[in-house]
Structure 1
Amino acid sequence: MEQPLPKSWSIHTRPDIIAKYQILERVGSGAYSDVYKGRRLSDNLIVALKEVHDYQSAFREIETLQILQNSPNIVLLHEYFWREDEDAVLVLEFLRTDLAAVIAAAKKDGGIGVGEIKRWMVQILCGVDACHRNMIVHRDLKPDNLLVGDDGVLKLADFGQARILLEHGLVDVNINPPPYEPDAADQEFNAPQVGYETENAFQEGHGNEEQGGTSKEGYFRELDELKVKQSRDETDKEANIHDENTSCFATCTTSDIEDDPFKGGSCSYEAEGGDNRHGALTSWVGTRWFKAPELLYGSSTYGLEIDLWSLGCIFTELLTLQPLFPGISDIDQLSRIINVLGNLTEQVWPGCAELSDYKTISFNKVENPIGLESCLPNRSADEISLVQKLVCYDPASRATAMEMLHDKYFNEEPLPVPTSELRVPLSKSYHDEHSPGGWYDDMESDSDFDEFGPLNVTKTNNGFSIQF
């Protein structure tokens, strides 16, 4: 028999919520949010109710997911409840599992077929492409935040760390056609992509700037030139404490609530701390195993490319069923990357010396980096090439999501299977190693150097340098 819910739960005592939803059970909890499984009383639809305790995270999640409301590979927000004196509660579609569970189940079942891998990759790329066409950087892509429904449809979730990098409407969503002609069952290509034309919360008040095709160089040049006023915020540093279980059921789209504060046409390009005309961002975001080198070196001027690095790490895990860089601290994370890719220099990444911590942290020269090929044993040359296009030092060299969708890999046999043929785990219990206390425990940024033995600390004009 189901246990009665504790009366102390704030979500349980809010009359505007319990009038429309029955709260069934808590399914996830973290530092900044709690997630409950619920039932909508009007039609018995099972939903997830995400109670977000951090104002900034709630605002960002609602704002970005309203923009992405028409993308089939972004989680759906049915509505939300938010008053000045209460936490925001997002009512999301309920998706019971995620890509981390798919990977964990595959370890027991003998792996994932190439056609299945391609379909998972295509869905992830479609979701990331939807974000990047709207100049939204997710900043925490990982298998746990890629939710999967019973029908095999994968959706990006947990946008609490996402940022809108450009004013909405400045980037053409029709730069490129779909990568190939799918069969009628391929919902993720046939369904409408991100829609500036649609009636959403951010069209009003931005005018109708002329839109045209943009090259890759222009794409990122616009990002550099038009980045809105942003700067560092201590609140965002705390966002690095990850809500491991809360992301498992997160989702979003538009609410029909009257007096919606997000329907006024004004975007919240709030600063991340101070009035920085160069648009400084915080590097204290993301989950360590999937963090791009620029974040690990303290960059505050990164862009969409950090998501592309994360994609490469996720794809490698799909192909090998093992994490690519399972660092136990940020320094260890950098060390693992350097052992594979080689030392970070101006030759491989022009401008890397300008990274905030580049001159503070240095590593002994790696004479013979092992290369990504060694991390992808028994995989094809095309699969290795796919990862190499994403996992590279220079952000400008990383392939965009749309470029990846056009890669020949997805047009060659075996083709991506229909979503209906994907094997979906029965529950999330498959991926214990991704839960707190397992693989993903204690992955936040840290400065614990004790495990690395003697350090070479040298005084410099800027302070000191630590060599490993």
Structure 2
Amino acid sequence: MDRSPPPAKSWSIHTRPEIISKYEIQERIGSGAYSDVYKARRHSDNLTVALKEIHDYQSASREIEALQVLQNCPNVVVLHEYFWREDEDAVLVLEFLRTDMAAVIKQGEKRDDGVGISVGEVKRWMVQILCGVDACHRNMIVHRDLKPSNLLVSDDGVLKLADFGQARILMEPGFVAADENIQPYEQNPLFHEHATPPAEVVPEIDSSSQEGHRNEKQGMISREESFREMGNYKIQGSLDDIDKEMSIRDGDTSCFATGTASDLGDDMLKSYCSYEVEDAENDGCGSLTSCVGTRWFRAPELLYGSTDYGLEVDLWSLGCIFAELLTLKPLFPGTSDIDQISRIFSVLGNLTEEVWPGCVKLPDYGTISFAKVENPTGIEACLPNRSPDEISLVKKLVCYDPASRATAMELLHDEYFIKEPLPVPFSDLWVPSTSSGQDEDSPSLWHDYNDRESDSDFDDFGPMSVKTTSDGFSIQFS
């Protein structure tokens, strides 16, 4: 663990009286381009928390707003409170979680029983991930950076989505989806019997607190209809005026918890404002960048430069995470964006109008092309020794056409989860004692893939031809 002194930019957290009067800062546990995270103790009750100091205005705005909307979700990290002044970085007080899904996967290969992660455990992890993503999507929040290291795990085995710095809310504040607080496992007696989190971990949900914001029209339609209606919205109409490109990874800056009820009050989030940053991307019209989400879990539409996308980008990431849970290996460990596309093509075949009507309209579709993949291996080859139900589950998510990807709610009702072996109780989950400490951008992880940070290294992809076109140029890889 990094116990070195914090960089100069982060010394402010140690000298801010409103923070140190309430918290004892113990050590820095993560650092990245946009934030630093510290383990701390709350003076009032000795609760261990994580203090996340965010150096980027937009990241702070997005994370605070998303966590406020999701504060009653048992599978989303709790924001206790935050400190933010005009002349200081935002500091978020988050529940402390000791480990993450990346560590669960990494240590699965080392388990003495030789089983890795059992089917019952896989189902329990999947159900929790789906519940967290479903809560996000029913509130029109797209996470945009789902990956194992952003799925934090408590000592009791409760999994929580974290790191919402790239998240976006696709509708104006105040929208609440129909029945937005109903957790899927509460509707299914089987889930309730085998899957309900420990009572002390799940905050009491008061649906009446949301009633003042409930949209009457939404309240009259079913939950599935509501989701389908929400799914029609695309992310091009954004709340803020700028979407800065987040290509610099933030490393291990997620906060590591035992679940407690949120201490957050009804403070309103600061209004968005124009925030100019050197080298930031700004088209002036509020459209989104395609460079979001860590490459290995990035949807094809993002790899092809789309800025008109929706909740479905999270569903592709889910499919990659589920495949990794089943095999303990990344599904598409690309070394650059070009290599990422190539690896996807080798499995799913080329991207064409036949498999995704309208794909030719993607911004970079005519710029980069590949030779025809004659015999794509298919998802089945990526999941050796896995059951047809498991393969089917991944295929429902890892598909080109975003409209064809199964929603989190649909998957929670998939028959896979009601077949033996059932999801195990929380007490039977194997939880590592520490976090992974690294993710796919770390040079020492996942064998010896090099140049993970390069998005423009074409040297490793064999012969290519560059042609001038009316719009600029195109690159053909053979």
TM-score after normalising by structure 1: 0.88
Q: Is the 8 A contact 1:299 1:355 kept in 2?
A: yes
- Contact 1:28/1:246, CA 8 A, preserved across alignment: yes
Q: Report the CA distance between 1:463 and its aligned residue.
A: 1.4
The letter for the 2-side match of 1:84 is E
- Give the 3 Å change call, closer, same or farther, for CA 287–187 of structure 1 in structure 2: same
Structure 1 residue 230: Cα displacement: 2.6
Instruction: Say if 2:57 and 2:275, in contact at 8 Å, map to a contact too.
Output: no
Q: Structure 1 249/442 Cα, relative in aligned 2: closer, same or farther at 3 Å?
A: farther
Per the alignment, residue 142 of structure 2 pairs with 137
Tell me the TM-score normalized by structure 2: 0.87
User: Which residue in 2 is equivalent to 1:362?
Assistant: 369
SS at match of 1:303: coil
Alignment match of 2:24 (pick from 18, 22, 25): 22
Residue by residue over 1:221-278, the C-alpha shift from the partner in whole angstroms, topping out at 9 and shown as x without a partner, is: 54445867339977621x22111210253999966468x342x9x89999984564xx
Distance in structure 1 (CA, Å) of the matches to 2:68 and 2:260: 7
Give CA deviations for 1:313-335 in whole Å, capped at 9, x if unaligned. 00000000000000000000000
Deviates more, 1:449-458 or 1:315-324: 449-458
Of 307, 312, 316, 1:305 maps to 312
Structure 2: runs of 5 or more not aligned: none
Structure 2: which amino acid aligns with 1:339?
S
Instruction: Tell me whether 1:55 sits opposite 2:53 in the alignment.
Output: no
Q: Which residue of 2 aligns with 1:230?
A: 238
Q: Which of residues 90, 104, 107 in structure 2 aligns to 1:105?
A: 107
**Alignment CA distance shift 1:324-1:256 (3 Å):** closer
Cα distance, 1:241–1:253 mapped onto 2, change above 3 Å: farther
Letter in 2 for 1:436: S
Structure 1: 5+ residue stretches without partners: none
Q: Label 1:189 to 1:222 Cα distance change in 2 as closer, same or farther (>3 A).
A: farther
Matches within 5 A, 1:286-305: 286-305=293-312
The 1:171–1:6 alpha-carbon spacing in structure 2 relative to 1, beyond 3 Å, is: closer
Offset, 1:153:
0.3
Instruction: Work out the number of aligned pairs and report it.
Output: 457
> Distance in 2 between the 1:412 and 1:106 partners?
23
CA contact (8 A) 2:3 2:29 kept: no
Map of 2:342 onto structure 1: 335
Residue pairs, 1:427-466, within 5 angstroms: 427-428=434-435, 434=440, 436-439=442-445, 443-444=452-453, 446-466=455-475
Contact 1:294 1:355 in 2 (8 A): yes
Q: Residue 169 of structure 1 corresponds to which residue in structure 2?
A: 175
Letter in 1 for 2:137: H
CA contact (8 A) 2:353 2:359 kept: yes
Q: Is the 2:242–2:274 Cα contact (8 Å) retained in structure 1?
A: no
- SS of alignment partner, residue 337 of structure 1: helix
**Farther off after superposition, 181-190 or 284-293:** 181-190
Q: Aligned partner of 2:237: which letter?
A: K
Matching of residues 80-159 of structure 1 within 5 Å: 80-109=82-111, 110=114, 111-159=116-164
Taking the aligned partners of 2:183 and 2:247, their CA distance within structure 1 comes to 34
How far is 1:193 from its partner? 9.8
Q: 1:198 aligns with which of 209, 228, 234?
A: 209
* C-alpha displacement of 1:424: 0.4
1:423 paired residue number? 430
